[in-house]
């Protein structure tokens, strides 16, 4: 593999459309973007012609169960780990891993190890410390120390609210957690984001509105997710976004995928935009490899499935093809907006000189063709060419 790579003739969406240009990659970084840049004289350089292709920033998936999740139906319902090629198949080049309902048999330490392995295999990875319940499990014994001292830990999550699997925490509990996330983020220069799992509970976002009503902790400290799981929750989340908060759609939660009460994510994005929610407040993540349990009205688990990362790309396609959201807007929902919410921008989520060379490349019908992460090609002509160690 040469140190330099020249991507020629790509129609670049940075996310703004830069037209047809060449990109020179040096190592893991973008060194030049221009219609005339050429390979450095005297240096080995790999050239890839992307004539007729659309090139966007690699997608950022902010909510992934990297080591699996679930277990609500007993040990046999614990879901498996993700592999590298499953991630890149969705155009994703940056993941944020989380635990979930199970903070007992799964650990933040093993999540960190898995994230580190994906980083070595070729993509970029971060994690949240904690799990559904409070007080949260950590690596160092302190949320603050985890965020400040461990590079890959950029926040807390997924913390459950309005869910029968939560620790039924009080407003005060959530408020104190938010304070710890806030100061840890400030001290470390990270987002210190609280990735907040919203369940089916009748309280919805009530506690979130309550703990931010005095505007002391900014609403942007929180990333409430799964907001499209029901019309009732989605209506509330639109109010949250109108007041300045982020809303994170879950691409795997859809009427066609085991969630009959939910709003299809691409349609939810359309509804939010029509309601006047600023595009910059909308993000989408997959919930990949989380379990998707179904409970009856008595709280008994009556079925389960596994969330798919592929849904992220499918929903972006549906935003463009079915909901008439233009490509420039649609890709921001899984690139720029996420990078800004997680304070990874401009290193991630945009195409500019000096940022990481993470790209998803599509044909004219927005089918994924190639993926580059940190300057290295991981998928070619629709197929993975780099695999995880045990794939």
CA distances from 358 to 59, 314, 350 (A): 8, 20, 9
DSSP per-residue string spanning 246-303:
-EEEETT-STTTT-TTS--HHHHHHHHHHTT--GGGEEEE--BT-B--EE-TTS-EEE
Residue closer to Zn ion by CB (options 212, 225) is: 225
For Zn ion, which is the closer residue by CB, 57 or 293?
A: 293
> Which residue, chain included where needed, has tokens 């900014």?
218
Q: E strands within 27-178?
A: 29-34, 45-49, 54-57, 59-64, 92-97, 124-129, 153-161
> Which stretches of the chain bind Zn ion, using CB under 5 A?
158, 197
Nearer to Zn ion, 22 or 197 (CB): 197
Residue 125 bridge partners (DSSP): 95
- Residue 134 in tokens: 């409070």
Least distance in angstroms from the C-beta of 145 to Zn ion: 25
User: Is residue 293 within 8 Å of residue 304, measured between CB atoms?
Assistant: yes
Backbone conformation region of residue 52, classed left if phi is above 0, alpha if psi is from -120 to 50, else beta: left
Least distance in angstroms from the C-beta of 367 to Zn ion: 29
Nearer to Zn ion, 15 or 293 (CB): 293
Cβ atoms of 50 and 37 closer than 8 Å: no
- Which residue number, 72 or 173, has a Cβ lying nearer to Zn ion? 72
Question: 25 — phi, psi (to 5°)?
Answer: -105, 130
Cis preceding-peptide flag for 158 (omega within 30 of 0): yes
Closer to Zn ion at the Cβ: 102 or 318?
A: 102
Which is nearer to Zn ion, 128 or 362 (by Cβ)? 128
- What is the spatial distance between Cα 387 and Cα 390, in angstroms, rounded to a whole number? 8
User: Which CB sits closer to Zn ion, 51 or 202?
Assistant: 202
CB of 379 to Zn ion, least distance (A): 28
Residue 119 has, within 13 A of its CA and on its CB side, a CA count of 14
Nearest residue to 196 via CA among 144, 169, 156, 136: 156
What's the min distance (Å) between Cβ of 285 and Zn ion?
Answer: 10
DSSP 174: H
CA angle 7, 11, 12 (to 5 degrees): 80
CB of 97 to Zn ion, least distance (A): 13
* Least spacing, CB of residue 216 vs Zn ion, in Å: 26
Selected catalytic residue, list 61, 146, 163, 287? 287
Q: Which residue is nearest to Zn ion (CB)?
A: 197
Backbone angles phi, psi at 384, to 5 degrees: -70, 135
CB of 262 to Zn ion, least distance (A): 13
Measured CA to CA, the distance from residue 210 to residue 94 in angstroms comes to 33
Give the shortest CB-119-to-Zn ion separation in angstroms. 23
Active site residue 329: no
Whole-angstrom distance, CA of residue 384 vs CA of residue 84:
9
Cis? peptide before 135, omega within 30° of 0: yes
**Residues annotated as catalytic (active site), given as ranges:** 287
């Amino acid at each position: 593999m040469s140190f330099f790579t020249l991507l020629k003739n790509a129609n670049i969406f940075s996310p703004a459309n830069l037209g047809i240009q060449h990109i020179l990659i040096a190592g893991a970084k973008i060194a030049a973007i221009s219609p005339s840049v050429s390979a450095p004289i005297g240096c080995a350089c790999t050239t890839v012609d992307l004539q007729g292709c659309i090139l966007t920033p690699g997608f950022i998936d902010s909510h992934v169960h990297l080591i699996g999740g679930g277990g609500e139906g007993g040990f046999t319902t614990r879901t498996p780990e993700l592999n590298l090629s499953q991630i890149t198949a969705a155009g994703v080049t940056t993941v944020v891993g989380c635990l979930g309902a199970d903070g007992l048999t799964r650990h933040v330490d093993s999540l960190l190890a898995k994230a580190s392995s994906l980083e070595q295999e070729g993509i970029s990875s971060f994690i949240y410390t904690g799990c559904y319940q409070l007080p949260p499990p950590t690596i160092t014994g302190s949320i603050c120390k985890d965020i400040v001292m461990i590079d890959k830990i950029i926040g807390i999550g997924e913390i459950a609210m309005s869910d029968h699997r939560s620790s039924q925490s009080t407003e005060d509990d959530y408020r104190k957690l938010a304070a710890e996330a806030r100061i840890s983020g400030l001290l470390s220069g990270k987002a210190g984001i609280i990735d907040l799992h919203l369940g089916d509970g009748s309280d919805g976002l009530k506690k979130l509105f309550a703990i931010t009503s005095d505007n002391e902790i900014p609403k942007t400290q929180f990333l409430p997710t799964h907001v499209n799981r029901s019309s009732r929750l989605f209506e509330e989340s639109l109010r949250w976004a109108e007041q300045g908060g982020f809303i994170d759609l879950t691409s795997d939660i859809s009427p066609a995928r085991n969630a009959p009460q939910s709003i299809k994510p691409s349609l939810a994005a359309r509804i939010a935009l029509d309601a006047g929610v600023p595009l910059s407040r909308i993000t989408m993540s997959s919930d990949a490899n989380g379990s998707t349990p179904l409970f009856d009205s008595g709280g008994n688990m009556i079925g389960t499935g596994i969330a798919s990362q592929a849904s992220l790309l499918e929903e972006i396609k549906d935003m463009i093809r079915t909901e008439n959201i233009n490509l420039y807007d649609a890709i921001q929902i899984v690139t720029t907006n996420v990078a800004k919410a997680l304070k990874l921008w401009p290193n991630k989520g945009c195409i500019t000189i000096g940022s990481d060379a993470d790209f998803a490349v599509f044909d004219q019908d927005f089918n994924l063709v190639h993926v580059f992460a940190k300057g290295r090609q991981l998928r070619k002509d629709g197929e993975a060419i780099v695999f995880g160690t045990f794939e």
